[in-house]
Structure 1
Amino acid sequence: MDALELLLTRQSTPRLTAPAPDASQLKVILDAAIRVPDHGALAPWEFIIATGEGLETLADIFVNAAQASGADEDFIHKAKGMPMRAPMVITVAAKTQVHPKVPVLEQQIAAGCATMAMQQAAFALGLGAVWRTGDFAFDANVNAALGLKAEDQIVGFLYVGTPAVAAPKKPQRDGSQYARYL
């Protein structure tokens, strides 16, 4: 798959199953992540990978956070199953630092770009992936349970695996309708 085909056909794959990426595929995915624009070479990200028992741990983290927030039983039950939607979940955290030339927002955007690059790499490898956020990305209890600092920001949970079904091709859209000239 060439780069333009990837960019123009990439789409989320929400229905995922085993197998997860193997070690060599995961290396490609992670290597793609760190090639994104990174002003000052700060590497303002961390990738927390959950597979197997790690998915159970992530589920427990979600359940505990939901309980701490006073969620109802239906949501707590849903939270327990969230990590099980794929055989691998990569939590991407922006780990920013004070820098005279690189604002925090730019560092967070770089972590977001890393997430997108991982999704694209998975797609190029014939895998599927979907980038999710939701309330748990902004939950202090989830941050703490994942060993993140209060100032760290989860930019997403990247669910990765093998597509369970062939996703229908999305129609091409005209990007120029969102552009204007000065």
Structure 2
Amino acid sequence: MATPNPDLLAALDSRRSIPAKQLSAPGPDEITLQRMLTSAVRVPDHGKRVAFRFLTIQGDARHVLGERIAARGIEKFPDAGPAAVEKDRGRFSHAPLIVAVIAQLGPDEKIPEFERTLTAGCVCFALLQAAQALGFGAVWLTGWPAYDEQVEAWLGLADEECIAGFIHIGTPKLDAPERERPDPAALTRAWSPL
């Protein structure tokens, strides 16, 4: 049996998402970001496919992407009101760093695409944990831009890639309140053969 580590459970139990609008500078420096990513890649990865990569969005690039997304949103949703357009424009302007976790999929004779997608999702979650462990706030977001072919093209995704999540990381402006969590006992059943 491995040595128990209650600190790990405490870290898992204290995880909170901080709304992107409540994240501000400073964000992690390059060394701190690399430390976060070192933890984030320690995920279950059937077949060692490393079916993910990272794309950082920071500085003025956040605002340029926001302008493009606002324009794209007007094309896709011509009935969208000014508030929706402004929401799109500001989508990436709050947190000083956004890490896009890109799932690399495509044909694989041994490892199903779904399993590789789950690995990329685990990377997103591990990155949230790593950010919080180093004193930052973070949130995992997608929204329509994560599924839009034009946005994927702007971000340089290949045909067999998709966005698993945009992880917004920064200094929290507030302490996120606890929210109600599901009761694991109510979600658990023992299987028995008929």
Which residue of the partner structure matches residue 56 of structure 1? 63
2 CA distance for matches of 1:21 and 1:58?
A: 20
% identical equivalent positions: 36
Match of residue 96, structure 1, among 99, 105, 109: 105
Would the alpha carbon gap of residues 46 and 64 (structure 1) be closer, same or farther in structure 2, given more than 3 Å must change? farther
Question: Within 5 Å, which residues of 2 pair with 1:1-182?
Answer: 2-14=7-19, 15-71=22-78, 72-74=80-82, 75-170=84-179, 173-182=182-191
Tell me the alpha carbon deviations over residues 74-113 of structure 1, each in whole angstroms, 9 at most, x when there is no partner: 2222211110121111111111131111111111111110
2 CA distance for matches of 1:48 and 1:24?
A: 16
Q: Output the amino acid matched with 2:14.
A: T
Q: Secondary structure at the match of 1:83?
A: coil
Q: CA deviation at 1:69?
A: 1.1
Q: Secondary structure at the match of 2:99?
A: strand
1 CA distance for matches of 2:135 and 2:74?
A: 37
Q: 5+ residue gaps in structure 1?
A: none
TM-score normalised by L of structure 1: 0.92
Q: Output the amino acid matched with 2:41.
A: I
2 CA distance for matches of 1:61 and 1:120?
A: 30
Q: Is the 8 A contact 1:140 1:150 kept in 2?
A: no
Q: Is the 8 A contact 1:20 1:88 kept in 2?
A: yes
Q: Is the 8 A contact 1:29 1:118 kept in 2?
A: yes
Q: Secondary structure at the match of 1:85?
A: coil
1 CA distance for matches of 2:187 and 2:69?
A: 37
2 CA distance for matches of 1:100 and 1:39?
A: 13
Q: Is the 8 A contact 2:63 2:90 kept in 1?
A: no
Q: Secondary structure at the match of 1:84?
A: coil
Q: Output the amino acid matched with 1:160.
A: I
Q: CA deviation at 1:64?
A: 3.5
Q: Is the 8 A contact 1:132 1:158 kept in 2?
A: yes
Rg comparison, structure with higher value? 2
Q: CA deviation at 1:54?
A: 1.9
Deviates more, 1:81-90 or 1:61-70: 61-70
Q: Secondary structure at the match of 1:109?
A: helix
Deviates more, 1:28-37 or 1:116-125: 28-37
TM-score normalised by L of structure 2: 0.87
Which residue of the partner structure matches residue 3 of structure 2? none
Q: 5+ residue gaps in structure 2?
A: 1-5
RMSD, aligned CA: 1.7
